[in-house]
Amino acid sequence: MAGVKKIRTPLTTEMVEQLTAGDRVAITGIIYTARDAAHKRLVQAFEEGKSLPVDITGQVVYYVGPCPPKPGKALGSCGPTTSFRMDAYAPTLLDLGLKGMIGKGQRSDEVIKSMVKNKAVYFAAIGGAAAIISRSVKTAEVVAYEDLGPEAIYRLEVEDFPCIVVTDAQGNDLYKTGVEKYRVK
Amino acid sequence: MKEIHVAQIIDAVEDICIKAACDLDRDVEECIRKWQAKEESEFGRYIFEQILENIDYARRENIAICQDTGVAVVFLEIGQDVHIVGGNLREAIDEGVRRGYRNGYLRNSLVDDPVFRRKNTGDNTPAVVHAEIVPGDKLKIMVLPKGGGSENMGTLKMLRPSDGIQGIKDFVLKTVMEAGGNPCPPVIVGVGIGGTMEMTTLLAKKALARKIGQPHRDPDYARLEQELLVEINRTGIGPQGLGGRVTALAVHIEHYPTHITSLPVAVNLNCHASRHAEAVL
């Protein structure tokens, strides 16, 4: 765990290729929230040949359903949700140009294969550190599926949002290597 | 017969919903601090620091520790000499939850129908209520907001009595290993053993409400808890599943007599933000 790499969204293939599993990063720029219900609708829209409510090319999606903000705050507590529930949808979005995902927990082999093919990166935020994560959110605005409440798509402007690269575009996976290192045989 | 008005119940539930979500129990915080010193992995130590900073910040700002403010699981111990007046107990619990989640800026995390509609209920009701009649003239209310990430990793198995202690250990270990980083380790592992199918899962949930790290009153079960804790912490899963020495903070077992043919075992995991608060009226 070396120093923290500062990165700015949207991401390009060149930027993604410079990230390695085990890097700590601080993300600045725009990211979009989406979780189960929004993913279902996005993929459904694509399959029906409709345009998506957000252009995801080069973008980073954050798997989160935030708490409502207290007066004077941009957003309430907003830590990551478990990513594997989005595994069924992620390869479609990656094929459409999505470059980064933020969540927690291991991804399926299909998602990792799709990340290698599409040159994308998966970041982990710390589950349960939701209050301090909210400090990185400067503005928040619902841009699609408002009826889903906390599951709507928000456009977040973030500054130095703290993450760890857990799966890189070469398919290296910190969940596997990290656990292997500390397993007592 | 002591009378308790539903208005008192509504106020108490509102208050403990907010307290549980924003102000982590000091025993849990102390336990996290204790284990921090034992973590060797670099990411593990970083995660412990962040978790502790988060607890402190959430408490100071009175905001949710975790955005998943969960299903409000409510345990009631109703004294048999209590008379509830002024309305309906069940509605009072839900009204307290509704107010707590709204006034505490907590997330509404429930959908009305699990299969067909899946529409957010908009006020985090209904609560999941478990009530027990006990001697006395008090009403004890405990809320345990339960997040989905850890709840989804829970398991139940009807073991054969011949599977014995090893069978129980293998099943608990398998549950924790398959859960990996998903339930936000370091976790608290609640294990229910015995009773019937539905009761063993309730025992596993109740085990999570015990004061953290307090060993079981029966030395045999206390030893089993300790052995399981050691084995879980040899898996290498570590904080957030990124590898390390501390995968679980505690293992709590609750048990009950069971049928001659049965050995039911349930595992209910809780994340490091093991939230609960109670009120006694």
The whole-angstrom separation of Cα B161 and Cα A65 is 43
- Are B127 and B6 part of one and the same domain? yes
Outline where B184-269 has alpha helix (H): 197-209, 219-232
Question: What angle separates helix B26-36 from helix B42-61, to the nearest 10 degrees?
Answer: 160
The whole-angstrom separation of Cα B210 and Cα B188 is 10
DSSP state, residue B281: -
Among B43, B46, B62, B67, the strongest candidate for a mutation testing the A interface, having the largest count of A CBs within 10 A, is: B67
| Mean of pLDDT over chain A | 96
Chain B residues touching A178 at Cβ < 8 A: 41, 43, 236, 238, 241-244
- Are B103 and B182 part of one and the same domain? no
This prediction has a pTM of 0.96
Domain boundary among B126, B146, B166: B146
Domains belonging to chain A, first-starting first, are 4-182 (3.20.130.10)
Chain A residues touching B105 at Cβ < 8 A: 67-70, 76
Chain B residues touching A149 at Cβ < 8 A: 108, 120, 122
Is residue B131 domain-resident? yes
- Are B128 and B241 part of one and the same domain? no
Contact present, B241 and B41 (Cβ < 8 Å) = no
Is residue B229 domain-resident? yes
- Are B230 and B114 part of one and the same domain? no
The whole-angstrom separation of Cα A49 and Cα A43 is 10
Structure tokens belonging to residue A33: 């929230």
Give the side-chain half-sphere CA count within 13 A for B247. 29
Contact present, A27 and A4 (Cβ < 8 Å) = no
pLDDT band at A185 (very low <50, low <70, confident <90, very high): confident
CATH number for the domain spanning B266: value is 3.30.1330
- Are B120 and B106 part of one and the same domain? yes
Q: Which of A39, A99, A107, A119 is catalytic?
A: A39
| Structural domain range at position B77 | 2-20+65-146
**Rounded (5°) CA angle A54-A58-A59:** 50
Look at residues A151, A150, A156 and name the one whose alpha carbon lies nearest to residue A37: A151
- Are B116 and B179 part of one and the same domain? no
**Rounded (5°) CA angle B177-B40-A4:** 100
The answer to whether the CB atoms of B46 and A1 lie below 8 A apart is yes
Chain A residues touching B41 at Cβ < 8 A: 178, 181-182
In angstroms, how far is the first alpha carbon of chain B from the final one? 14
Catalytic residue status for A39: yes
- Are B75 and B153 part of one and the same domain? no
Domain boundary among B146, B165, B184: B146
Contact present, B191 and B204 (Cβ < 8 Å) = yes
If phi > 0 it is left, if psi is from -120 to 50 it is alpha, else beta; for residue A121 that is beta
Residue type, B258: T
Domain boundary among B146, B165, B197: B146
Question: What angle separates helix B219-232 from helix B164-179, to the nearest 10 degrees?
Answer: 40
The answer to whether the CB atoms of B241 and A178 lie below 8 A apart is yes
Comparing alpha-carbon positions, the chain B residue that sits nearest to A134 is: B67
- Are B79 and B158 part of one and the same domain? no
- Are B70 and B120 part of one and the same domain? yes
The answer to whether the CB atoms of A182 and B40 lie below 8 A apart is yes
Contacts of B33 (CB under 8 A, 6+ apart): B52
Outline where A27-184 has alpha helix (H): 36-47, 90-95, 109-118, 130-133, 174-182
Look at residues B208, B117, B151 and name the one whose alpha carbon lies nearest to residue A147: B117
The answer to whether the CB atoms of B58 and A164 lie below 8 A apart is no
Which residue in this structure is represented by tokens 């009153």? B217
| pLDDT, tens digit, 9 for 90 and up, residues A155-175 | 999 999 999 999 999 999 999
**Facing residues of B77 across strands?**
B132, B140
- Are B180 and B117 part of one and the same domain? no
Among A102, A161, A167, A179, the strongest candidate for a mutation testing the B interface, having the largest count of B CBs within 10 A, is: A179
Contacts of B120 (CB under 8 A, 6+ apart): A148, A149, A150, A151, B108, B110, B111, B112
DSSP state, residue A82: B
Rounded (10°) CA dihedral A9, A13, A18, A22: 70
Is residue B232 domain-resident? yes
Which pLDDT does position A3 carry in this prediction? 86
Structure tokens belonging to residue A151: 């599951």
The answer to whether the CB atoms of A179 and B54 lie below 8 A apart is no
> What's the number of domains chain B is made of?
2
**Facing residues of B133 across strands?**
B78
Rounded mean pLDDT for each run of 10 residues along chain B, 281 residues in total: 96 98 97 97 96 98 97 98 97 98 97 95 97 97 96 98 98 98 97 98 97 96 98 98 98 98 98 96 97
Which residue in this structure is represented by tokens 């992995």? B41
CA–chain centroid gap for B179, Å, is 16
Is residue B164 domain-resident? yes
The whole-angstrom separation of Cα A36 and Cα A128 is 19
- Are B192 and B114 part of one and the same domain? no
Cis before A10 (ω within 30): yes
Contact present, A38 and A144 (Cβ < 8 Å) = yes
- Are B170 and B242 part of one and the same domain? yes
pLDDT exceeds 80 at position A1: no
The whole-angstrom separation of Cα B43 and Cα B39 is 9
Q: What are phi and psi of B194, to 5 degrees?
A: 95, -170
Is residue B203 domain-resident? yes
Which pLDDT does position B98 carry in this prediction? 98
The answer to whether the CB atoms of A70 and B105 lie below 8 A apart is yes
Is residue B196 domain-resident? yes
Is residue B48 domain-resident? no
The whole-angstrom separation of Cα A85 and Cα A100 is 16
Is residue B177 domain-resident? yes
Which ipTM was obtained for this model? Answer: 0.95
Chain B residues touching A125 at Cβ < 8 A: none
The whole-angstrom separation of Cα B184 and Cα A123 is 15
